[in-house]
Structure 1
Amino acid sequence: MPTGVAIRDVREQLFAAAERVLLRDGPSGLTSRAVTTEANCAKGVMHRHFEDFDAFLAAFVLDRIDRMAPRAAALRDAAGTGTVAGNLTDALTALFESVAVAIVALVTFRDELRARLRKTWPAGVPVLTEAAVMIASYLSAERELGRITADADVEMLAPMLIGTGHLLFADRKGSPPEAGAVLRMVTAVIAGVAQDSQP
């Protein structure tokens, strides 16, 4: 791209490019050169907006976490509709078919990125921690509606669902699990607390 040509929404253009590279090439392929090439812009563009590449990656991860807010609101609004297992299956599938699994690998792969994220995100892997909060909030709503037992420990169930879901989806090169496999996993995890009669 010629110097002096303004790029509209440069941050989003770079973040979208980073997501494509991460999904296609994995964490080891995600370099500043790969991102700017994918975004079709000069390498200097990134450095005008971010202190360094790890600062860019931290902003990218936090941006993708912020995008989970509408999904969390939609899941909570689904409380009382459909089945608990069905709603959780849909939510986990949407979460893990997104860039979330790749971000977990990226955070694990880059020590400096983890260190930067720790400044604003003191515990856990950001995407998975936020997903667990989303699931726990939904389960709390279902508990209030009586669709899961009153003594259900939603703070423990949520990470169990996220962790098991991550194991199902974690093979980036393989095909994603079938919906039936995700539903069976969810049904098994919530079997002791589910009150709705359908799977």
Structure 2
Amino acid sequence: MFTPFFGAPEGRPSAYGRGTTPASMRVHRLKAISIALAGSALVSPVAYALDFAEARLIAEQQSPRISAQQLQVNVAESVQKAAGSLPDPKLSLGIENYPISGMDRWSMTRESMTMQRLALMQEVPNRAKRDAQVASAQARVDRERAALVLQRLQIRQELSLAWIAAQAVEQRDAYSTRWRTRFHADGGQCSSVMADSVPR
């Protein structure tokens, strides 16, 4: 039974028994996809039934899970670019032996021991440490990219399951419509209807 999948409470007539129209089945299809994608914002105000390729494209483009994982990939790639590089150089400014008392206080020139210092320093980590940083950053990029591929596969799997369920409901609706049409055309004669109900 596909009724619980579309959210119809138990005991209430399903779409099979209410004479669902083909137009309403397009709505059911979109509902099925949106439920399976768990909030991926797939439902769109289009006036036609999506085919599978279009639905998959929309699902991947609008899935919050894929967007979030893509951001993780971008961050990892940014970190990778800086991995293994030398730290930023440091500029140091200072004054030594600056007098703050006596007759020479607050003077930069009266005290011969007063010195001004300007230095530019560059730290150089050992090569092994930088190589380890590069390897770690690359491993993180590979891990995040693999997670992105996994997210895409999961979205496609969920979409496929929802699509199969929606197609099954559409086929059931089409069969129900044909069954009722034949029933009314034969004036309510069950024998001919039952004969036609055997799948060919």
TM-score (norm 2): 0.22
- The structure number with the bigger radius of gyration is 2
**Structure ranking higher in helix proportion:** 1
Higher RCO (CA < 8 A, seq sep 6+): 2
**Which structure's residues are more often strand, by fraction?**
2
